[in-house]
Amino acid sequence: MSRDSHPAHADDSSDAATADRPAAVPVDEDTIRSTLVRAQDLRDTSPCTGELAELERLLRGHIAILLPEAQAATDKLWRGSMEWSRRTGRLSEIRFRSEQGLGAGRLSALVQINLLARDCEWLLADHKVRHQ
């Protein structure tokens, strides 16, 4: 049975499915990598709250740009496959985490920045696989 004829697979090539998706925003890989380097450099510095908030804003912005493309690629997979399940879980985790704040203390903020940076790295690597 082909992927498209499987009853559990919704056809995402329909006009209705694509009409709900916003136009893709160009991905600036160099800017994203620069932000990721800044996040990694936090281990060697003592950033102020403003720097942490700015870095969080940048990472969340990059995630917001990369996430729709990753979701669209996942939506094309056969629902129920191992790859679809793995990607759906990962994207759900990224979406949830990107909606969280920095937390109450410095350690919480540093951990959140680290997790957002890892999510952004995963999304960027996923983007690069499709655009080689």
The 10s digit of each residue's pLDDT in 80-114 is 999 999 999 999 999 999 999 999 999 999 999 99
Does the pLDDT value for residue 11 go beyond 90?
no
Query: Do 10 and 79 meet the contact criterion of CB atoms below 8 Å apart?
Result: yes
Q: Is the dihedral of CA 122, 127, 57, 86 positive or negative?
A: negative
Q: Which carries the bigger pLDDT value, residue 90 or residue 16? A: 90
Both structure tokens of 130: 């499709």
pLDDT band (50, 70, 90) for residue 22 = low
Q: State if pTM tops 0.85.
A: no
